[in-house]
């Protein structure tokens, strides 16, 4: 199975900060990576797919990059709504696998 | 807008069975792969199963193979997950999601909680 490792597990930041979350795959997954946001008690929400394509309706402050085994999610200027948990997911191989999550907290 | 509504969760004893349903609207259900994803309390997301538009292709995570069955009824725009031989480690919120052919989950239900406990 492909292992997805996110770093950091927890990130403390302030409104207006630029933050980056990293996701590493245990083997190459080309660009078959998605990013999701999950607020407490809510369902996940798709942000980015194919590593860098912004889902319709998602603010442009979110961006994704990478290919192969290393990927990043960047939020250019944190807004209050952005404090949530973020997950990466590979969909190149079965079983699909998620990273363990990165909790973005208010500093 | 994609709308997915899960039902069928609840408390079940170890070794028991449960059937989850997911009612879909707002998109062409019969043209979309579908998936189940679960989340144990306080834990991360775990993919469970996928099913192709016409049900002709199905995939499962190893931990549920032989115990869970994903199915769909395109006439009813509904997705199902039949679970048998349930274990404590199956306790989770189960989400159904619409799946793009490239594998990303673009629409999610609100989830239904399955608790396996005596």
Q: For residue B102, what pLDDT is reported?
A: 85
For residue B32, the 8-state DSSP code is: S
* Mean pLDDT of all residues belonging to chain A: 97
The distance from CA A98 to its chain's CA centroid, rounded to whole angstroms, is 10
Name every chain B residue with its beta carbon within 8 A of the beta carbon of A34.
103-105
Count Cα atoms within 13 angstroms, Cβ side, for A95: 19
Contact B57, B117 (CB under 8 A): no
DSSP assignment letter at B90: G
Positions of chain B with pLDDT lower than 50, given as ranges:
none
Beta carbons of A44 and B59 less than 8 Å apart: no
pLDDT score for B101: 84
Do A43 and B95 lie within an 8 Å CB cutoff? yes
Q: Please give the Cα distance from A103 to A37 (Å, whole number).
A: 10
Q: Which of A91, A92, A97, A99 to mutate to test the interface with B (most CBs of B within 10 A)?
A: A91
* pLDDT (tens digit per residue) in A80-100: 999 999 999 999 999 999 999
């Amino acid at each position: 199975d492909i292992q997805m490792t996110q770093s950091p597990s927890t990130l403390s930041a302030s409104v207006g900060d630029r933050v980056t979350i990293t996701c590493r795959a245990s083997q190459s997954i080309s660009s078959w990576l998605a990013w999701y946001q999950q607020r407490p008690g809510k369902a996940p929400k798709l942000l980015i797919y194919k590593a860098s394509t912004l889902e319709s309706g998602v603010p442009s402050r979110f961006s994704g990059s990478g290919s192969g085994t290393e990927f990043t999610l960047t939020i250019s200027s944190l807004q209050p709504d952005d404090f949530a948990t973020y997950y990466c997911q590979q969909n190149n191989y079965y079983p699909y696998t998620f990273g363990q999550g990165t909790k973005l907290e208010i500093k | 807008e994609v709308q997915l509504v899960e039902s069928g969760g609840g408390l079940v004893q170890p070794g028991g069975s449960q059937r989850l349903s997911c009612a879909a609207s707002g998109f062409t259900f019969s043209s979309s792969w579908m998936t189940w994803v679960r989340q144990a309390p306080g834990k991360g997301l775990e993919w469970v199963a996928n099913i192709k538009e016409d049900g002709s292709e199905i995939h499962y995570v190893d931990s549920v193979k032989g115990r869970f069955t994903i199915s769909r009824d395109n006439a009813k725009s509904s997705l199902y997950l039949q679970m048998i031989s349930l274990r404590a480690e199956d306790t989770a919120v189960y989400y159904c999601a619409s799946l793009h052919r490239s594998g990303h989950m673009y629409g999610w239900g609100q989830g239904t909680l399955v608790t396996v406990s005596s």
